[in-house]
């Protein structure tokens, strides 16, 4: 029988308020999820010279990917510069209203307005190890491809390209037009990693949380971040309980049997 995908439980007790916007009902939460612990004793990341990454969220659907990336980096004690685009906030409020802006800001080392082009990360002389945009909208993709630094997100990405730093774009769109594909191809030729969050069902995920965690773990691996004991569900000590590969990413039997039948 096909397993049923479920969302992770929300923190209780909750007091819900309803706001009517067009024909949709939005829920906002007056309590927040518990802040995940950071670990000052976490071993340094051997592939991160400065232990510092830029993380940006845009208005594309899939804000939970950016949230999971931020919480994981916080748990690994990796410094983050967080930027939310103008349309990232409405998407966040609609898709994951329990994660408020103050909550996300509390997980980041530094936060920046997308309009602040005077921020240190807009300069190549400020050392960072790379940048992740999750999710990345097609508008932001096009701006980066054309070198159009109209805001801090596209400017910081442009800096990463010119300085030869790693840039990972978790693009979120379907179907893809020729314009989208050509923009991705042009950036890929420059060394930018195009990372659509395609679910790996060979992992036999128990819920949406594990689907998200699997994509985020793979993306961070591309960036050179060792997730270690933090499993795909974001909890410590869950990494290898199935006896598989990649911190519990693939069950042992899935490597040779499950997906080859």
DSSP-assigned states of every residue in 160-229: HHHTT-EEEEEE--SSPPHHHHHHHHHHHHTT-EE------GGG--SSHHHHHHHHHHHHHHHHT---TT
Look up residue 114 and give its DSSP letter.
Answer: T
202 assigned ligand-binding residue: yes
CA neighbor of 110 nearest in space, from 88, 155, 76, 78: 78
Is 204 marked within a binding site? no
Q: Is 244 annotated as a binding residue?
A: no
Q: How far apart are CA 131 and CA 223, in angstroms?
A: 9
61 is known to lie in a ligand binding site: yes
Q: Any known ligand binding at 206?
A: no
- 139 marked as binding residue: yes
Contacts of residue 146, defined as CB under 8 A and 6 or more positions apart, other chains included, come to none
Q: Residue 111: enclosing H or E segment and its boundaries?
A: strand 110-112
Q: Which residue is listed with tokens 């950071």?
A: 38
Query: CB of 193 within 8 A of CB of 169?
Result: yes
Evaluate the CA torsion angle 226, 77, 235, 61 in order and state its sign. Answer: negative
Pick from 96, 98, 101: which is nearest to 16 by CA? Answer: 98
Of residues 204, 200, 214, the one with CA closest to residue 246:
214
* 186 among annotated binding-site residues: no
Q: Is 218 annotated as a binding residue?
A: yes
Alpha carbon 241 to chain centroid, angstroms: 24
- Binding site annotation covers 131? no
**Is 165 marked as binding a ligand?**
no
- 60 a known binding residue? yes
Q: Which residues are annotated as a binding site for FMN?
A: 59-61, 85, 137-140, 172
Q: Which residues are annotated as a binding site?
A: 59-61, 85, 137-140, 172, 202, 218
Q: Which residues are annotated as a binding site for dimethylallyl phosphate?
A: 202, 218
């Amino acid at each position: 029988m096909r397993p049923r995908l479920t969302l992770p439980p929300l923190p209780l007790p909750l007091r819900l308020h309803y706001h009517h916007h067009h024909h949709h009902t939005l829920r906002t939460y007056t309590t927040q999820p518990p802040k995940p612990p950071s670990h000052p004793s976490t071993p340094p990341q051997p592939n991160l010279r400065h232990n510092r990454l830029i993380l940006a969220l845009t208005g594309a659907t899939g804000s939970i990917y950016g949230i999971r990336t931020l919480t994981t980096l916080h748990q690994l004690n990796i410094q983050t510069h967080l930027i939310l685009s103008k349309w990232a906030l409405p998407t966040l409020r609609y898709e994951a209203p329990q994660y408020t802006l103050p909550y996300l800001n509390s997980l980041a080392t530094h936060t920046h307005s997308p309009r602040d082009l005077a921020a240190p990360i807009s300069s190549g002389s400020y050392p960072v190890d790379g940048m992740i945009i999750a999710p990345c909208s097609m508008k932001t993709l096009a701006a980066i491809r054309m070198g159009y630094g109209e805001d801090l997100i596209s400017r910081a990405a442009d800096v990463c390209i010119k300085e030869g730093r790693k840039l990972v774009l978790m693009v979120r769109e379907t179907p893809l037009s020729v314009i989208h594909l050509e923009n991705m191809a042009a950036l890929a030729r420059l060394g930018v990693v195009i990372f659509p969050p395609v679910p790996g069902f060979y992992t036999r995920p128990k819920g949406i949380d594990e689907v998200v965690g699997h994509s985020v773990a793979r993306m961070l691996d591309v960036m050179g971040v060792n997730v270690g004991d933090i499993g795909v569900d974001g909890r410590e000590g869950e990494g290898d309980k199935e006896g598989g590969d990649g911190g519990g990413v693939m069950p042992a039997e899935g490597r040779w049997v499950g997906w080859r039948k």
